[in-house]
Amino acid sequence: MQAQNFYVKVHRYLGLCLAFFLIIIAGTGSIIAFYDDFENTFNARMRIVEPQAQGWTLDDALRIRQQLEEEDPRSHVFSLQFPQKADQSLFSRVMPAIDPASGEPYVIDYDEVFANPYTGERLGQRIIGTPTLNPEGLFSFLYYLHYALIFPLGIGILLIGTLGLFWAAESAIGLYLSLPAKVRPSKSGRKPRPFLKRWSTSWKISRGANSTRQILDLHRASGLWLWPLLMIFAITGFALNLGGPYADVISKFADYEHFQERPPVEPLEQPLIDPPVDWFQAATLGQRYFAQQAETEGFTLGKPAALEYRRDLGLYFFSMHTSRDVLDGQGNPTETNSPATTATLAIDARDGRFMGLQLPTGQRAGNTVTSWLIALHVTAIGGRPWQIAVSIFGLAVVTISATGLLLWWRRRGTRRAAKPAVRKQAKPATPINAAKTG
C-alpha cells in the first residue's frame, strides 16, 4: 500500500510538471501533422515553383547554392535538400559564415533559404520559429514550438528531449496505477473475479457517476487505450531531439548508428572552412560510393535527397533515396532530411574517403526499429489516414493532460475542505467589575 501511495504521488506531481508542456506539444503536433500541406498552401510563394521541361540537375542545385552564398557573403549554406517533386523549391539551411578578418561569425537574420531549382531565383528566406501570426510563417512557428517551445534552439531541444523521457516514465506509472489491487484470500473460500475482469473497469467510463468520477474515468481510460502510442511518441520525442544520448542507450541493446548525432570522427580543433574536397566533388563521390554500396548491400538507388557539410567535423553527409527507405502511404519518399527515411553516406572533406553508410532499414536492427517509430511520429508513412489519426491523438493527449489538471484541482479543494478548521483560542474576557489599580 505504501508503494501504491508513493507512485500515486509521483504520477500526480510529475503529471503536474508535464501537463502544461504536453498541452503545447500535443496541441501543436495535432496541427503540424499536416505541416507540408499548410506550408504549400500558405507559403506557396517560397515552396511551390512552376515545373520546367528541361528539369534540373544536381550540378544545377550546387551552382544555385554557390550563387546564394555569393548574393550574401555573410552566409554559409551548409545543407541542401533536393526537391523530390517537379513543383518543389530548393530548400537550404544557413548559418553565419566566418569573417576572415576577425575569425568570428557574421551576424545574419535568417537560417532558411528557398530558391527556384530551375532558375536559381531566391524565393525567400526566414528564421524558423519566428513568432508570427502571418500565414507564411505561422506553421514554421508552430513547428518550432513543437520541438523547442519558446526557448533558444539548443535549450529547447534539450528540454523537449528530456521531457520525452519523463513522459514515458509518467505513462508507465499510469499503466501500473490502473492495475487492480491484489485480492486477499476470502475466508469463505470463494474465488475472486479474474484479473482481466477486474482490470476492465479501468478501461471504461462509468455511466451515472458524479462528474469527478467521470473525469477520472476519462483520464484513465483514454490513457490506457492510447498507451502504446503514448510510449511511441514519448520515446521518439527523445530520439528526435536528443539523438546522441538516444544512440548511446539503444546501442547497448542493438546495433545502431546515427552519423549526424554520433559521427564517425571526433570534432576538429578548428572548423574546416574551405575543405580540399568541394561540394561538386562531394556529390560526385557520393553517387559513386552509393553505386558501390548498392551492389555490396543489395539495394537499388532512387533520387538524391540531401547534401550537408559539417565544418566542425570536416565531413559531408550525402543522402539518397533507396529501396531501403521507409516510404509514405503512396510509396513515395518523404522527410528528405531525416535519417529515418533516407540512406546517408559520410565523406571526409579533406581527402574524399568513404567514412561509412547508414541505411534506414535492413542494415542494423536498432536503426530499422527506430526508423519505423520515427516515421510514425513525423507522419512519413500511412498517408492521409495516419495524418488524421496523429492529429486526433494530439488532441487526445491535450484531453488527458487537461483532465489530469482538473482532477488535481478538484481533489485539492476536497482535501482542503476536509481539514478541520483551526480556530484561534479566544483571550479570556476581562471581568466587568474588575478592580482598577490606582
Task: Enumerate the domain spans of the chain.
Answer: 257-363
Counting DSSP H helices and E strands in the chain, the numbers are 13, 8
The reported pLDDT for the residue numbered 58 is 96
Stretch 40-44: mean pLDDT, rounded? 94
Is-contact 129 138, C-beta < 8 A?
no
pLDDT of residue 383: 85
Higher confidence at residue 438 or residue 87?
87
Query: Grid cell 495516419 — which residue?
Result: 386
Lowest pLDDT segment from 56-70, 282-296, 356-370: 356-370
pLDDT in the model for residue 331: 53
Q: With 70 as the cut, is the pLDDT of residue 435 above it?
A: no
Residue 426: pLDDT band with limits 50, 70, 90: very low
Q: Distance between CA 405 and CA 262 in Å, rounded?
A: 38
Q: Which residue has the higher pLDDT, 381 or 238?
A: 238
Residue 236: predicted pLDDT: 94
What is the pLDDT at residue 73? 95
For the ranges 142-156, 160-174, 286-300, the lowest mean pLDDT is seen at 142-156
Q: What is the pLDDT of residues 177-225, one digit of tens each?
A: 999 888 777 666 677 788 888 899 999 988 888 888 899 999 999 999 9
The one-letter code for the residue type at 68 is L
CA–centroid distance for 342 within its chain: 17
Residues sharing a CB contact under 8 Å with residue 48, sequence separation 6 or more, in sequence order: 40, 87, 88, 89
Angle of CA points 349, 303, 286, to nearest 5°: 20
pLDDT at residue 194, as a whole number: 85
Q: How many CB atoms lie within 10 A of CB 82?
A: 20
**Residue 296's pLDDT band (cuts 50, 70, 90):** very high
The pTM assigned to this predicted structure is 0.87
Give first-to-last CA distance, the chain, whole Å. Answer: 68
Rounded average pLDDT over 274-280: 97
pLDDT category, 427, cuts 50, 70, 90?
Answer: low
Measure the CA–CA gap between 422 and 300, rounded to whole angstroms.
78
- Provide, rounded to the nearest whole percent, the portion of the chain with pLDDT above 90: 71
Tell me how far the alpha carbon of residue 219 is from its chain's centroid: 24
Closest residue by Cα to residue 124 from 111, 115, 133, 132: 115
Judged against a pLDDT cut of 60, whether residue 337 lies above it is answered with: no
Lowest mean pLDDT among 211-220, 325-334, 345-354: 325-334
**15-37: pLDDT as tens digits:** 999 999 999 999 999 999 999 99
Mean pLDDT of 34-56: 94
Give the C-alpha separation, 249 to 129, whole Å. Answer: 30
Cell of 433: 467589575
Residue that wins the pLDDT comparison between 311 and 432: 311
pLDDT in tens, 55-90: 999 999 999 999 999 999 999 999 999 998 999 999
Confidence label for 436 from pLDDT (cuts 50, 70 and 90):
very low
Say which residues have a Cβ less than 8 Å from residue 32's Cβ, sequence separation at least 6: 38, 139, 142, 143, 146
Cβ 335 vs Cβ 344: under 8 Å: no
Residue 122 has pLDDT above 70, yes or no: yes
